[in-house]
Structure 1
Amino acid sequence: MKTIKLTTILLLFSLCAMAGAVRPYQHSPDERRRVITKEFSVRPGEALSIDNQFGSVTVNLWERNSIKVDIRITANAVSESRAMAYLDAVQIDEERQGGKIMIKTVIGRGPFTKNIGGQRNSQSLQIDYTLYMPRETALLVKNQFGDTKIPTFHAPLTIDCRYGDLFSNALENVSNLIEMSYGSAKLGKVVGGKFDFKYADLELKEIVKLELKNKFGELKIEDVTNLQADIDYSNAKIGVIRGPSQIRLNYSSDFSIDELQSLSKTLQIDANYSSVELPAQANRFKVSVTHGNFSYPAGKASFTVQPEKGIRPDKTQNFQGIIRNGAGAAITIQSKYGNVRFKD
């Protein structure tokens, strides 16, 4: 759980200030807490929208046709009066319109502004949401500077997570929209969705169908059926690909796939300033390399097209043929300023 110093609020959540960890208390703080509970009956087709900052959002599912939101606000300061001032600065707004139940954390700036120049490294504010909701209700979560925890979820889900981590066992709906920056995500099964990750690490266990943009992060996928991915400035490792997939790489030095199932049929890779490593399983391939090399296990590749011997490395080299008996997937790779390797 992330506890953020109040001094960062004075800087309008600047990236530099938020990067610092909370330091140990130099003297005993005074802690005050407040718990707010909101309950709603759910109308057919309604969605729940949560907008929080400086705390966690934890989702639980139940069989009731209602929503309950417990909000726990914790303030630490050098005195009771100051801690109470921090609590009073937090307002929880709610609105119900357009088919949405909307709950938002709003933090006033007055108490923090007054304390500029004082001893503030023992001050903190944390706002934690715990949700109880029906499994068929769609959910939208925006959370900054805190973790978001989702159970096995069946309804449409939209997540905007910044400066925090995201966890879920399974996202069973085909409509999952996730944006993330400056954090990490560990997800189990994902049936479908569109992900946009920047400066964030992503670990996925089982994917049915996914459109992914990943920039400046680490990517690990254990098992995927259908993938369309743009991967920039990131290291990426994929275990198994089972269906047709398209992948574009830019400045990604360590991209690898461990296994291609024969049912994957087609794999297309467009790589720039990136390395590509694939398994030397039975497949058909078309590989085009400019300013790079193409390597494969000796004696296991048969060619119908090969470049002339002695061709300059800055010229495009075209290869076409099969690995082993060629019974597997059809692989097409275009690579510029990087190497392509089929590995045993």
Structure 2
Amino acid sequence: MRRKQKNSWFIILLILGVCTHTYAQDKKEETSKRKSKSITNCQEKDWRTIGEEIGTTFRDLGIRIGTDVSIAARRVGETLAEEQTWQDVGDQVANAGREVADATQEAISNHSSDRDTYAHRYDEEKTKKFSKTFKLGSNDRLAIENKFGKVHINTWDKQEASVDVVMIAKSSSESKAQTLLDRINIVVNENSSENEILVKTQFDNMNNWSGGKQSFEINYTVNMPRNNPLRIKNSFGDTYVADINGKSDLQCSYGSLKAEKLNNADNYVKVSFGDGRIGYCKSGEIKASYSNMEITEGNNLTIESSFSELEVRNIQAAKVKAKYGSVDMGTNGKGFKSFDIDGSFSDIDLRIPSSLGFDFDIKVSFADLDWNESGAHFTSVEKSGSSKNYVGSFGKSSGSNIRVSSRYGDVDFKIND
């Protein structure tokens, strides 16, 4: 699951195409036995999302690198908007995915804000800094909104927050670098009605910006009270959050997120086109799209995953909705309550200790159930066409439940010693 973060989001698109192509080949024999069915109505919107999100994001930021990406990505939706069978979809998604990846990689290579990789392209560098300290009430929320840079959140026991920002601009001349830097500002908005202090990166005259030999990045280092609420919105940069007890709202796109421990009972995490790693999340809602999401431990989570790889190592209760990806769920059995998983076009792996007793209800359509333990007691096995429903129990009843509904994705049930 771990891999290089650089350019991970367009790599995911390429993998999506290849995986769909492979999956279509695996299903070819089964599909040929039944009448070809159009998938236009249920999937066109999903595929169009790729083009819309990539192209629109770049255009909204005022950077003229979105054209080729948008055109290539839009072909995904346009191509798949026609009547297709799964074999056709596999071939076309593979090709369209490569077009998006190629166009995106070229755009990134020409306009990246990565200091180490692309520093040699620029002759001059200018830097300016912003620093501010805020007194926070116990219920005050600190909010950070940034683009094109890192956000690093440390927590402490002081009832105050310090925000330090380093803005770096590079260009072919000192004057051009300074002009670029002058257009980047940090603004502070203290909204007493919402008990929020917002620190935000602001870009002036973005519509007049052009490409060429220039680059910039804005990096935040924040220290804040561990018990206060936090809101982050960061794009095109990595985000780190230390242990925090306050309510967390973390939204990251085109960059990685690493959160140590989210100890509040009400958290919201959204990762798009990046990698997410959470050490512990007590409770909350997690969304991943075109990403890898790894959660080491959690109590009670609601998870939505689309075009993503989801891995949860140890959790007590989870409600999961996944499409076009994979799900790997596990528990050590301590405090386990339930798995409720609804998957489409996603393989599902479940890892359960042999010491745990539970009831199960597993439905699969155009898919198979693989169970490595003969100790399961099946009270009902119903088969109808390409659908199967398995109901039963394993071990001593404990009130724990596992419910799985999977369409076009196999379920692999592993009982571990």
What TM-score, normalized by structure 1, do the two folds share?
0.79
Worse-matched range after superposition: 7-16 or 24-33 = 7-16
> 1 or 2, which has the higher helix percentage?
2
The 3 A distance-change label for structure 1 pair 322 and 114 is: closer
The equivalent of 1:107 in structure 2 is 203
Structure 1 residue runs of 5 or longer lacking an equivalent are: 281-296
Query: For each residue in 1:268-290, what CA deviation from the matched residue of structure 2 results, as whole angstroms up to 9, or x when unmatched?
Result: 5555555554552xxxxxxxxxx
* 3-state secondary structure, aligned to 1:231: strand
Pair 1:209 & 2:262 matched: no
The match for 2:136 is 42
Q: Greater strand percent: which structure? A: 1
Q: What is residue 31 of structure 1 aligned with on the other side?
A: 125
Q: C-alpha displacement at 1:113, in angstroms? A: 2.9
Query: Secondary structure of the residue that 1:21 maps to in structure 2?
Result: helix
The structure-2 alpha-carbon separation of the partners of 1:13 and 1:95, relative to structure 1 and needing over 3 Å to count, comes to farther
Matched, 1:10 2:63: yes
Matched-pair contact (CA < 8 Å) for 2:344–2:409: no
Q: State the shift of 1:153 in Å.
A: 1.2
Give the match for residue 195 of structure 1: 286
CA contact (8 A) 2:163 2:221 kept: yes
Write the distance in 1 (CA, Å) between the matches of 2:377 and 2:361: 20
Q: C-alpha distance in 1, partners of 2:409/2:171?
A: 55
Match of 1:63 in 2: 157
Whether 1:250 aligns to 2:344 is yes
CA 1:194 to 1:274, structure 2 compared with 1: closer, same or farther past 3 Å?
farther
Q: CA–CA distance in 2 between the matches of 1:256 and 1:191?
A: 22
Number of matched pairs? 313
The partner residue of 1:137 within 228, 247, 258 is 228
Query: Could you tell me which residue of structure 1 aligns to residue 265 of structure 2?
Result: 174
1:136-194 per-position Cα deviation (integer Å, ceiling 9, x unaligned) = 11110000100110011111100111111000221111111011111011111111110
C-alpha RMSD over aligned residues:
3.2
Q: Which residue in the other structure is 1:147 paired with?
A: 238
* CA pair 274-25 structure 1, distance change in 2 beyond 3 A: farther
> Displacement of 1:10 after TM fit?
2.5
Instruction: Report sequence identity in percent.
Output: 25
| Ranges in structure 2 where 5+ consecutive residues have no aligned partner | 8-57, 71-102, 111-117
2-side partners of 1:54 and 1:125: how far apart?
7
Change (3 A) 1:279 1:226: farther
The TM-score, its normalising length taken from structure 2, stands at: 0.66
Please give the alpha-carbon distance, in whole angstroms, between the structure 1 residues aligned to 2:158 and 2:288.
34
Pick closer, same or farther for the CA change 1:76–1:259 going to 2, 3 Å.
same
Distance 1:343 1:33 in 2: 54
Task: State the SS of the aligned residue for 2:280.
Answer: strand
Give 1:233 deviation, angstroms.
0.8
Give 2:337's aligned amino acid: G
AA aligned to 2:152 is: T
SS at the partner of 2:290? strand
Contact 2:149–2:219 (CA under 8 A) maintained in structure 1:
yes
1:75 corresponds to: 169
> Structure 2 CA distance, aligned partners of 1:243 and 1:108?
51
Where does residue 54 of structure 2 map in the other structure?
none
With over 3 angstroms needed to count, the CA separation of the structure-2 counterparts of 1:269 and 1:209, relative to structure 1, is: farther
Please say which structure displays the higher CA radius of gyration: 1
Given that 2:345 and 2:409 are in contact with CA atoms closer than 8 Å, whether structure 1 keeps it comes out as: no
CA distance in 1, matches of 2:130, 2:201: 12
Query: Which residue is equivalent to 2:46?
Result: none
**Given the superposition, is the C-alpha separation of residues 25 and 95 from structure 1 closer, same or farther in structure 2, using an over 3 Å criterion?**
closer
**One-letter code aligned to 2:64:** L
What SS is found at the alignment partner of 1:174?
coil
